Structure 1
Amino acid sequence: MAGTLYGLGIGPGDPDLITLKALNILQAAPVIAYPAPVGKSSLARSIVEKHLPGGQDEIKIDTPMIPGDFPANDVYDQYSEEIAQKLAEGKDVAVLCEGDPFFFGSFMYIYARLADRFETRVVPGVSSAMASCCQLGVPITSRADVLTILPAPLPSEDLLERLQLCDAAIIMKVGRHFAKVRDVIGTLGLNEHAYYIEHATMETQKMMSLDEATFEKAPYFSMIIVHKRGEAWK
């Protein structure tokens, strides 16, 4: 009998933000798999490290992080087959995913290749978007607010158009696009209602108003939160 493939949302960074369901599966699975930039350690594994029981087989999914060339289809083809081999041997495999597996989560690329071949269960996780609002103390929606999630790599004109149409926005994957996003928000006169956060819930977390963020580049794990009313309850 084949094993079960699990996509585990393990939260945004704080090890204690993993759900009980994901924790139980994590500790029971004989095999865990997790993404990592080529030549570097895995953030996903580091998040759950203190929860690992030891003795598990581990599959490190070495992924080249090249702008404009992600996902790396050949990489996911290769590692999906490695995971499939473990499943065919009757072993459950838990694939770790920062945040939520289906919200910009890398697990979706494994899911696309294996879900029609093996029993697959996806466990939702706390997303960095929601965690960031809580860390900042900025409620993001109320009443009939329209919330938009925007990836920062969008062209400036697209960001401008979409921000004009919503009440609140969470702009993700800011990184090297920070200056562009800040300029767009400034053009709309929303700087005083915008906040910046990086590495939400982690020990390296930093947060501030957008006006205080005078640098030109930001880490990949950073985002900007903006609400046109300033406070959602107003």
Structure 2
Amino acid sequence: MSPLDTIAGSAHAGTLYGIGVGPGDVRYLTLRAAGLILSVDVVAFFAKRGMEGHARRIVTPLMSAGRHELRLEYPITEEAPVADPTYQAQIGDFYRRAADSIAAHLSAGRSVGLLSEGDPFFYGSFMHMWRRLECDHQVEVVPGVTGMSGCWTKANVPITWGDDILSVLPGTLDEDILADRLTRCEAAVIMKVGRNLTKVKRAIAQAGLLARAIYVERGTMEAQRVTPLAEVELDRGPYFSMILIPGQGRRL
């Protein structure tokens, strides 16, 4: 038994593990996450059509040849708005079929590690599997370093001081709603920037926070970029991008 096995523990038969794989650098995995990735019978992961899958790419250094992998490929991602009935119907059916595929392995006594970028319970697709399977199967959630934590660390900015209240906002909100929320924020993280970057930047400017806003792209990864949002001229950001607005509370 290796030291990692002793510290992290191994997987149990018929158990689903929601494994947080962190913000992008495999070195930020927890010991528990790494131990389970090495020991589960099936490594499952979500991926866009034709893409490797971000979570799967993160754990590549831990994967050996011959591992049993379960690829869960989204039928649709950004082709339609989330509120579109077509999107909801397709993604709902996909989640049902994905849960059935995982359940088949669990019922056969195999352990399944479902990889999740960042933390499984923070904007993660894993939650849709958890909701469908946790009543009938053993499930363990393994927390991970969130993308926002990785980004503010690499940006070298404390996000909250003293009694600052942190707000986490999705960039998919309507521009006016986002601007209104931002006017009442002491510190903020804006997720799901991507194709919403131009709209989000306008909302931040409308709230009078552009001078404090920091754009982080691919935080903790090789192609990382950290720059003041005011200097960003892109129309849209990549999947791994977010905006930080650090608090300015009590500093002793």
Q: TM-score, normalised by structure 2?
A: 0.88
Gaps of 5+ in 1: none
Q: Is the 8 A contact 1:11 1:125 kept in 2?
A: yes
SS at match of 1:5: strand
Shift of 1:223: 0.6
Please state if 1:119 is matched with 2:167: no
Please state if 1:206 is matched with 2:217: no
Of 18, 27, 35, which residue of structure 1 is paired with 2:38? 27
Q: Distance in 1 between matches of 2:250 and 2:71?
A: 41
Aligned equivalent of 1:5: 16
- What letter corresponds to residue 41 of structure 2 in structure 1? P
- The 1:143/1:4 distance shift into structure 2, 3 A limit, reads same
Q: Deviation digits for residues 100-128 of structure 1, max 9, x if unmatched?
A: 00000111011111111100000000000
Aligned equivalent of 2:251: 233
Q: CA RMSD in A?
A: 1.7
- The 1:2/1:52 distance shift into structure 2, 3 A limit, reads closer
Gaps of 5+ in 2: 1-11
- What letter corresponds to residue 135 of structure 1 in structure 2? K
Please state if 1:172 is matched with 2:185: no
Q: Distance in 1 between matches of 2:182 and 2:123?
A: 20
Q: Is the 8 A contact 1:139 1:232 kept in 2?
A: no
Aligned equivalent of 2:171: 152
Q: Is the 8 A contact 2:159 2:247 kept in 1?
A: no
1:68-83 to 2 correspondence within 5 Å? 68=82, 69=87, 72-83=91-102
Shift of 1:228: 5.3
Aligned equivalent of 2:8: none
Q: Quick check: 23-32 or 218-227, which moved more?
A: 218-227
Q: Distance in 2 between matches of 1:24 and 1:62?
A: 25
Of 35, 44, 55, which residue of structure 2 is paired with 1:44? 55
Aligned equivalent of 1:183: 202
Shift of 1:55: 2.9
Q: Distance in 1 between matches of 2:13 and 2:63?
A: 23
Shift of 1:2: 5.9
Q: Quick check: 128-137 or 217-226, which moved more?
A: 217-226
Please state if 1:91 is matched with 2:102: no
Q: Quick check: 123-132 or 206-215, which moved more?
A: 206-215
Q: Distance in 1 between matches of 2:197 and 2:36?
A: 37
Q: Quick check: 119-128 or 183-192, which moved more?
A: 183-192
Which stretches of structure 1, 4 residues or more, deviate above 3 A after TM superposition? 231-234
Shift of 1:52: 1.5
Shift of 1:158: 1.0
Q: Distance in 1 between matches of 2:19 and 2:197?
A: 30
SS at match of 1:216: coil
Aligned equivalent of 1:60: 71
Please state if 1:14 is matched with 2:33: no
Q: Is the 8 A contact 1:152 1:172 kept in 2?
A: yes
Q: Deviation digits for residues 141-166 of structure 1, max 9, x if unmatched?
A: 12111100000010011111111112
Shift of 1:220: 2.2
Shift of 1:205: 1.2
SS at match of 2:115: strand
